[in-house]
Homo-oligomer: A and B are copies of this chain.
Amino acid sequence: MLDITELSRLSGCPASKLRYYEEIGLIRSSGRKGLKRLFEEEVTTRLALISLGQTAGFSLDEIRALIGAEGRPELDRAALERQADKIDRKIGELTALRDGIRHIAQCSASNHLDCPRFKRIMRAVLKRRA
């Protein structure tokens, strides 16, 4: 069992954030020692996942819906597939954006937004979006 300072050190999250996450039900502490919260080490996994989810652009609410309350009865596999598809689309957009940026970096068009290659790359992304 970890106290909040240890968990903070392990996870890289400030204690205030850990308390906040517990308050909104994203993680939970498994008891107290006096006033002090005690956490199981498994919580670090959850924290890593939460951070990943944020990177993927999900809100904390969405993340909670995904990784849920622990001991959840059943998880919604269809919802998971939908989220995976969302991430897939985002990966496509990011890939195009990255290519566009890389191109701009070596392109010599006076105004980079005018560069035809860049425009083509961006049009491709915009299509995917719709």
Instruction: Report copies per complex.
Output: 2
Q: For chain A, what secondary structure do more than half of its interface residues adopt (helix, strand, loop), or is it mixed?
A: helix
Contacts of A66 in B (CB 8 A): 101
Taking a contact as CB atoms closer than 8 A, the residue among B80, B94, B105 that contacts A55 in the complex is: B94
Interface residue stretch chosen among A1-9, A16-24, A31-39, A85-93: A85-93
Q: Is A75 part of the binding interface, using a Cβ–Cβ cutoff of 8 Å? A: yes
Taking a contact as CB atoms closer than 8 A, the residue among B80, B90, B105, B111 that contacts A105 in the complex is: B80
* In the complex, chain A residues 31-54 whose Cβ is within 8 Å of any chain B Cβ: 42, 45-46, 48-49, 52-53
What total of chain A residues lie within 8 Å of the partner, measured CB to CB? 42
Q: Is A14 part of the binding interface, using a Cβ–Cβ cutoff of 8 Å? A: no
